[in-house]
Amino acid sequence: MKKLLPIVFLLLTSCIAIAEIQPNSFHLAHVLRVIDGDTIVVILQCTTRERVRLIGVDAPETPLRGEPEFFGVEATNFASRRLLNRDVLLQFDGRLRDRFDRLRAYVWMSEPVNFDEQEIRNKMFNAQLLLGGYARVMTVGTASGYVNFFEQFERKARNEGRGLWKQYMRR
């Protein structure tokens, strides 16, 4: 019984940490499902299942019923290839939840160290969506310093006609 007490304490403190998420905190999560390019389902510590809306980006929709928006299927497929069944780090910023009660987070593929432009490009999935032209910048409720990077990444994808921006290059 004495051997179990430290394990039980660790589990309980992990549960408390998730319940008390702070801005700019990081939490390990496992991606269970990709709903679309900017919304995923993860499992956090203590087997808490959560829907997560990626902060700062807006990918085209792929609804369960009806027609997907232009480049929505491609954005969802890209997110699935990169995130599904993988461990990621969620970084929270500003408001914890959106109006649909989804957690709002930046999704890091590996732990950031310097938080410089190159690291954001290489390790943050939100940025990779923008760089590949799979999403547009959306700054509603965003409080971080990533906005300037995101706008730069979107501009680069648009200027190079990547992803959803291809349609504008044909004109």
Which residues have a catalytic role annotated? 53, 61, 102
Distance CA 33, CA 35 (A): 6
Residue type at position 147: V
Token pair for residue 170? Answer: 């044909």
Distance CA 111, CA 103 (A): 19
With 0-12 / 13-18 / 19 or more C-beta atoms within 10 angstroms meaning exposed / middle / buried, residue 43 is middle
Q: Which residues contact 38 (CB under 8 A, 6 or more apart)?
A: 53, 54, 57, 58, 59, 75, 79, 129, 135
Distance CA 142, CA 168 (A): 27
Instruction: Give the per-residue SS3 of 6-51.
Output: HHHHHHHHHHHHHHCCCCCCEEEEEEEEEEECCEEEEEEHHHEEEE
